[in-house]
Amino acid sequence: MRARGPGRVNLIGEHTDYNGGLALPFAIALGVTVVAEPLAAELVEVEALDLGERDAFPLDHVKRVAGWRAYARGLVAELRPACGMRLSIEADLPRGAGLSSSAALSTALALAILALDGREMERLELARVCSRVENDWVGASSGLLDQLAVLFCQEEHALRIDFRSLELRQVLLDLRGWTLATLDSGVARENAASGYNERYEECARARELLGVEWLSAASPADVAELPEPLARRARFVLEENARVDAAAAALAGGELPELARLLDASHAGLRDLYEVSTAEVEAAVEAMKRAGAAGARLIGGGFGGSVLGLFPPGAVLPPGALTVEPAGPAHLI
């Protein structure tokens, strides 16, 4: 059995997922491929071909370990396949580049394990399982953005996700000759080891103080009363949330300069209010701007990773930039 999980680019709507807000990601062609083959023994063997590393553990007694090994271990413990297997992982998506290499890996692993086990699982349930593995086995308090994006995005479209209702809507990503490109800041990041969990905790604290179930439901006036840094974190969440539908409207109306302005505003908020940018990320944004990007922002959790730039027709991308186009969801090959 062979399965493929794509990476994703989040057009806009950062740090809104665990705050019950909105986001607008799309899947990309780069991703992770997993091959699952049956083993006679009650054993799971895993090989990460790109890293040249291996793992092996008994099927019925999965111990916790850190790093990439946590994904296969967590999924085997969650999905409980009946037979032993050998899993090999091959990736053309850079790790830690803010392009959701973890969800690409976990969805490809999950689809391959289930297929070998002769089972299917509803995609929303699968997203929850992969997210649980990220939370409980990998140790990142991340929301559902990456898993939903990777499992539900369709070619030529971005996916508008409402994390409160889990309503999913395909939004045509018609760039009218403009180009979206990513540029790696050169600093690899992992949610579990960055300041990501701290931001999650700050939002949880703000929610508690405001007495709301979701931060995205709070009023700007109440948010302004919070102690710092919670006030600026929550203000970012409200403003970023509003930018998602503004971006969808700009796309629908073919207003690409307005979309670029929203990307810039998102980045300014991530840098100044949510404080998840770094010197290397700022340098990457600058490089995009110098090359003529009309708008550019960091994508994903922050503290490193990639930036996204929106270029008008005819622009020459900066060295190392990668054109990204909306691709299809995780699937069996």
Interface with ligand GLA (CB under 6 A): 10, 14-15, 17-18, 100, 142-143, 145-146, 191, 300-301
Catalytic residue numbers?
Answer: 146
* Phi, then psi, of 283 in degrees rounded to 5: -65, -40
d(C-alpha 289, C-alpha 230), whole Å: 30
User: For residues 16 and 33, which CB has a smaller minimum distance to ligand GLA in the complex?
Assistant: 16
Q: 10 or 306: whose CB is closer to ligand GLA?
A: 10
Give the closest residue to 294 by CA, choosing from 278, 310, 314, 279: 310
**Cβ-based neighbour number of residue 183 at 10 Å:** 25
Instruction: Please list, in sequence order, all residues whose beta carbon lies within 8 angstroms of the beta carbon of residue 118, skipping any fewer than 6 positions away.
Output: none
To ligand GLA, the closest distance from the beta carbon of 276 in angstroms equals: 9
In the complex, what is the shortest distance from the CB of residue 126 to ligand GLA, in angstroms, rounded to a whole number?
16
Q: Which residue has the tokens 């705050």?
A: 19
Q: Tell me if 10 sits within 8 A of 299, measured CB to CB.
A: yes
Give me the least distance between CB of 135 and ligand GLA, in Å please: 10
If the CB atoms of residues 99 and 291 are measured against ligand GLA, the closer one turns out to be: 99
Question: Phi/psi at 91 (nearest 5 deg)?
Answer: -130, 140
Q: For the chain, report the end-to-end CA distance as a whole number of angstroms.
A: 8
Q: Which is nearer to ligand GLA, 143 or 269 (CB)?
A: 143
CB of 104 to ligand GLA, least distance (A): 12
